[in-house]
Structures are given as structure tokens and as C-alpha cells.
Amino acid sequence: MQQSQLIAEAHALGISSRSSERLLMLAVLEDAVRCYQKCARRRGAARREQFDEVRGWLDSTDRSSLFSFETICDTLGLDADYVRGGLRVWHERGRRTRRPNVRQGLRTKGASG
């Protein structure tokens, strides 16, 4: 995400550009959401591991760390359960619409090769 877009979103959440901790928290949250969405639809052990790590961070209700999901949402004035629910809905919709590519790897009659 470009800096100007991040700052625009921060202002929409009422975060001043002088609040470096809150800007950093917003960047951490955006990166986690981007990773969640990117890795949820990809195959491979490394992507699956990243997805599981991000999902674990999002699902955690721990508030002991400054950069835990719950603490970030509280600080930014976001409802953590609402964000989690939105990501779950997005993920489930993607799972329902994904279809295996049956044609991949199949040759048709007359295909050269």
C-alpha cells in the first residue's frame, strides 16, 4: 500500500499523521489482511503456513501485546469480531466458488505434442 493511501485511510479512522504508533498498527493490520487474502487462495506448504499463522493471529483474543489483533482493533476503534467475521465470509465465498480445473493437464483429440 502506498503511503498516501495509508494516510488517507488513517484520517478516515481519525488517526492523525502525528500518531506513529497508530499508523504502524494500521499498517500491521492491513498487511495481515492482505496476507490472509493472498495466502487463502494459494496452494503450497509455505502459503498454507503463512495463512495459518495470520489466521491464528486474527483468531487470538490475547490483549497482552501492543501489536495483538485485539489491541490493534481496540486502538483503531474497530470491532475485532466484525473484522474477523468479514474475513471468514470472504474466505467461505471464495471456497464455494472455487472449482477444480478439470481441463488442466488433459489433452484434446488432435492436440499436437
DSSP 65-97: STTSHHHHHHHHT--HHHHHHHHHHHHHHHHHH
* Per-residue pLDDT tens over the stretch 51-103: 999 999 999 999 999 999 999 999 999 999 999 999 999 988 877 665 544 44
Question: Where residue 47 falls among pLDDT bands split at 50, 70, 90?
Answer: confident
Whether 103 is covered by a domain: the verdict is no
Whether 36 is covered by a domain: the verdict is yes
Range of the domain at 83: 3-92
Whether 109 is covered by a domain: the verdict is no
Whether 112 is covered by a domain: the verdict is no
d(CA 6, CA 33): 14
Whether 107 is covered by a domain: the verdict is no
d(CA 45, CA 64): 30
Whether 40 is covered by a domain: the verdict is yes
**Number of folded domains in the chain?**
1
Question: Where residue 44 falls among pLDDT bands split at 50, 70, 90?
Answer: confident
d(CA 72, CA 69): 5
Angle subtended at Cα 64 by Cα 61 and Cα 67, rounded to the nearest 5 degrees: 85
Tell me if 73 sits within 8 A of 79, measured CB to CB. yes
Whether 110 is covered by a domain: the verdict is no
CA dihedral (21, 3, 80, 19) in degrees, to 10, reads 20
d(CA 108, CA 28): 48
What's the chain's length in residues?
113
